[in-house]
A and B are shown apart, each in its own frame.
Chain A
């Protein structure tokens, strides 16, 4: 039997980005908070000091900081009539594990979504008519607006010290920033990062073509910064080992470098590491969470009672825990009914490799940071007229190359043999003069009726419980979108003077071995109707009002941006609702 621990006011599942934000906000309100984290405690000097953090084989290729699939994985299939098989080693996405969650090894590309992204169905229907959207596309409005969460975007950016150039302050468009962004209340806390050669060359070519390039908003700081919690970050040194790696310089915004030192000073906060929550417990009515059960690394089972439960375990683990705990009605794609698992999505990424005259162009690709880059936003969201093109959605695109690490980033021109003397020669000739911006076209993926999560009938985890199953494929809309965007992107590299530009379109079927991003979204989405959403606009579970679910699992579809700015803003927004409304009157915040 599980041993019972003394009750707490709040139990937080997962101490990653949103878990840390919720923990700080609720401990700050005086509540007794415990965070339970599946992976180990991680810190700069112990786990990623600069003398061994930059190890490409260990961290990028062998995935050391990530969850071991042996502990939990997912099964995958493209279509509902296939048998799903287990993801035995990670590929298309990389599930985080350990204190700090994805914040430890993210790039820190810190974006806001467009105002129209939050009212997507309404916006697109008004502009193009309902008939323009594919019939099986299940996009929805979010139930919150950009204006409502703008103050919380601002909170997150000032927490992180984000380096960037504003493009729109309170409606005034500013040269050099992103003119398409929603109005922000003030400038970024720190100026944009300096840009290496290829990134500036991209910006120049884009400007010549009539676009308005701007620096990518970056959580790799351009200068030292002290945040409002009193935590300090140092300047980024462009080490080129950022995405997949911890930062040895305290330069990358993460829970470790922005929140945890202040959180640990709160007397009402404690955390447990190496402890995996196995279910959220409900009382006899099924409408109230009584706490969580977890298993620690020694195999001991514990019960942690709590009045309020925050599920912040990352998209797919949020959905998995809801399914395994029997909370909310599982989604049934045939009946198009139920909510848990519905509107699951990922991203539509593509890129180009380009080859320049060796000797004439020396790019030094190893000088880079995780969120470096010059981007354009002309083709994102609904920033352009989709009418003639017959698809919806878009992408930011840019020269966002983050590294020249040689196992991963040694592109060779097409037609080069894969090995032998000719391969070796091509690698040598092109290394300094070729460009490979991994996620150059950062496209949206909208939601569909047959893209969802549920429980697998066959495969089990180490406890003998069913693995969660992912059914996902690209739809024509995204394939068309990507072909259009990749062509536009390639034109810019051509204009930079490349002698050869090789387009790598994203084509179906969705391949679980090909890394895109770790921006999985949906499965427990927010909304205004409890029949089509799992949580309300305050991230509160419709069925179990003392449970809040944070993270991108709440996104009804994905936009053409990275998600963390938005999911962090929503966490602050939810924390505010809990502090100002829920605590005074615990219960459903929306009368629906």
Chain B
């Protein structure tokens, strides 16, 4: 049924792109292994891994508009949302690893889901470039990051409303990705590079991964008093940048 050569070729391609382990035969005992084989990598502060310096400057401006700072809680920039997105785009998410990426790529209905061949990494690269180009042409020769925050908000609002279009890439699609990824950076576990000092969790009163609330399930309508804990430990242990 399967043509042998074609099959071998496609399998080789497929394997190269995944982290599948070896097939094993299991019998007689639970294949017990006491330690994690899938422990997460901790993203540490440090140089940009995906963004260029210019892109990073634009991104930090954007994330601070999507989640602006206020007197009690840092904004997207200080919460590490741009760092989070940088690490995500460098990793498997950025290259659409594991997704079905065979053609033909045909635009379908909304109900049929995304059909773009563009990876998130390509989308950000093109989106950020197009945003700066737009601003330079239409906003007095300035890059997005050099606009006032009011002007930045205005540009983003117009993109959201479909009033600003980019040539290179779907501006609204880029904005949707931002609306997905920036809150991810604000609220995901700090090991992924965002939510620095658990700022997002502290803001809302989410205690993170405490995992055991048996003492609390029957304490109704009472504020849970303990500070958040993450995979990497408590917020006061989290490495600070610089």
Is B122 an interface residue, CB under 8 A from the partner?
no
A279 within 8 A of B: yes
* Minimum CB–CB distance for B5 against chain A, Å: 11
Cα distance A296–B15 when bound, in Å?
11
- How far, in angstroms, from A404 to B210 measured CA to CA in the complex? 13
Q: Which residues of B contact A301 (CB under 8 A)?
A: 2, 7
Cross-chain contact of B217 among A88, A238, A427 (Cβ < 8 A): A238
User: Are B65 and A420 in contact, with the CB atoms below 8 A?
Assistant: yes
The answer to whether the Cβ of A122 comes within 8 Å of any Cβ in the partner chain is no
Determine, out of B53-61, B135-143, B163-171, B200-208, the stretch whose residues face the partner at the interface: B200-208
Which one of A105-113, A266-274, A313-321, A485-493 contacts B?
A266-274
State the CA gap A76–B208 with chains docked (Å): 37
Do residues A89 and B21 form an inter-chain contact, with CB atoms below 8 A? no
Is A248's CB within 8 Å of the partner chain B? yes
Would you call B14 and A459 a contact (CB within 8 A)?
no
> What string of 1s and 0s marks CB contacts (under 8 Å) between A432-476 and chain B?
100000000000000000000000001110111100000000000
Contact at B28–A297, with CB atoms within 8 Å?
no
Within 8 A of B (CB), among A252-270: 260-261, 264-265, 267, 269-270
Residue in chain A with minimal CB distance to B12: A299
Does B8 reach chain A (CB closer than 8 Å)? Answer: yes
A416 within 8 A of partner (CB)? no
Residues of A within 8 A of B97 (CB): 70
Contact B27 A264 (CB under 8 A): yes
Q: Min CB distance, B198 to chain A, in Å?
A: 11
Residues of B contacting A: mostly: loop
Q: Tell me the nearest residue of chain A to B37, going by C-beta.
A: A46
Other-chain residue from B7, B68, B183, B221 in contact with A361 (beta carbon distance below 8 A): B221
**A285 within 8 Å of B (CB atoms):** no
Q: Which residue of B lies closest to A42 (CB)?
A: B38
The contact size tier of chain A is: 35 or more
Contact of B22 among A298, A424, A425, A465 (CB under 8 A): A298
Shortest Cβ distance from B160 into A: residue: A418
Partner of B26 from the list A41, A279, A464 (CB cut-off 8 Å) is: A41
Query: How many angstroms from the CA of A249 to the CA of B212 in the assembled complex?
Result: 10
CB distance from A185 to the nearest CB of B (A): 30
B192 contacts chain A at the CB level, 8 A cutoff: yes
- Contact yes or no, A45 B34, CB < 8 A: yes
Q: Given A194-B217, A269-B27, does the pair A46, B21 have CB atoms closer than 8 Å?
A: no
Task: Check if B22 sits within 8 Å of A274, measured CB to CB.
Answer: yes
Q: A28 at the A/B interface (Cβ < 8 Å)?
A: no
Indicate whether A56 sits within 8 Å of B98 (C-beta atoms), given known contacts A50-B211, A431-B204: no
B49: Cβ under 8 A from any A Cβ: no
1/0 contact string of B2-26 vs chain A (CB within 8 Å): 1110111011111101101111111
Q: Residue A196 at the B interface, CB < 8 A?
A: yes
What per-residue 1/0 map shows which CB atoms of A345-380 lie under 8 Å from chain B?
A: 000000000000000011010110000000000000
B98 partner, pick from A68, A267, A269, A406, beta carbons under 8 A: A68
**Do A404 and B206 touch across chains, with their CB atoms under 8 A apart?**
yes
Interface centre among A62, A275, A301, A419 (most CB of B within 10 A): A419
Sample of 8 further A-B pairs with CB below 8 A, known A1-B4, A364-B216, A509-B109: A54-B209, A70-B99, A88-B99, A88-B114, A196-B217, A240-B213, A297-B22, A428-B204
8 contacts between A and B (CB under 8 A): A46-B35, A237-B212, A295-B11, A300-B23, A366-B224, A406-B187, A419-B179, A432-B205
What are the nearest 5 A-B pairs in CB distance? A296-B23, A68-B98, A299-B11, A57-B188, A270-B27
